[in-house]
Amino acid sequence: MKRGYWEPESGKRIHYIKAGTGKQSLLLLHGIANSMEQWVEEIENWSRDFTVYAFSFPGCGFSDSLGPRKMSMDFIPFFIEKFVETFRIKDPVIVGGSFGGLAAIEYTRHFQNKVRKLVLVSSAGLGKEINGLARIASIPILGEILYWWRRDKDAPHNIRITLRFMRTGVNIFGQKKKIYRLGYLKNIKVPVLVMHGRNDEVFPVYHSERAAKVFPNAKLHIFENANHWPPDMHREEFCDLVRKFARD
């Protein structure tokens, strides 16, 4: 497993991982308040069969911030594309979890001809509902207090950057309409695997159930007795499902 830094801009470094030598590539996109370290165990598993790439979004983990203007869904898909172009990743299977799922949808919307398949895990952007902690964190000062208290429980990340990212798409009422992507899903023609934990405490499971019906070519898998991050309790099953989907 190779770890390194990529410079999308002069003097700005993005932390990334590349592992494996398989013909098919996987590109993994992590969730908010996290980093590419979220995927380390999956990378070790999948790198036996695929070439696996992951990076920490700007301001997350050990990646530098690229500034407040480059922290929105208007910027993210083009940032991902720059990574894909730099590393010459051909026809990747994009795997996105939570916020990374929303980022994966956005990238696929803009660059569908470059995506072989799409995997969404408890994805953001599929409805208004989100848990109370996220809504509270969207409130200035309260959010800073909340994230400062839990700072040691997350992968290394910049609290200010995390909150700024989140507040672009969440307010006290829930996810903002500007990040809803349900209406765009019918235009995504690539095969999609939609996964969700039955007991997700962040987004209700019906978000994914509904989305799977909108995609023209989607499979749905619900993990029973699983929370927002199904790999925590079903890692072997999760890895096998993604492996089979990517190979087919």
Cα gap 138→141, rounded to integer Å = 9
Structural domains in the chain?
Answer: 2-126+179-247 (3.40.50.1820)
CA 160 – CA 60 distance, rounded (Å): 10
- pLDDT tens digits along 152-187: 454 445 677 777 777 787 778 877 777 788 889 999
Closest residue by Cα to residue 111 from 52, 187, 50? 187
Amino acid 155: pLDDT: 44
pLDDT value for 70: 66
Reduced DSSP (H G I as helix, E B as strand, rest coil) percent helix, strand, coil of the chain, to 5: 40, 20, 40
pLDDT of residue 83: 98
> Residue 203 has which token pair?
């987004």
Q: Residues of the chain whose pLDDT is less than 50? A: 152, 154-156
SS3 11: coil
Q: What does the pLDDT read at residue 114?
A: 97
Q: Give the pLDDT of residue 40.
A: 96
Give the position of tokens 């969730």. Answer: 31
pLDDT at residue 127, as a whole number: 83
Q: What integer pLDDT is reported at residue 221 of this predicted model?
A: 98
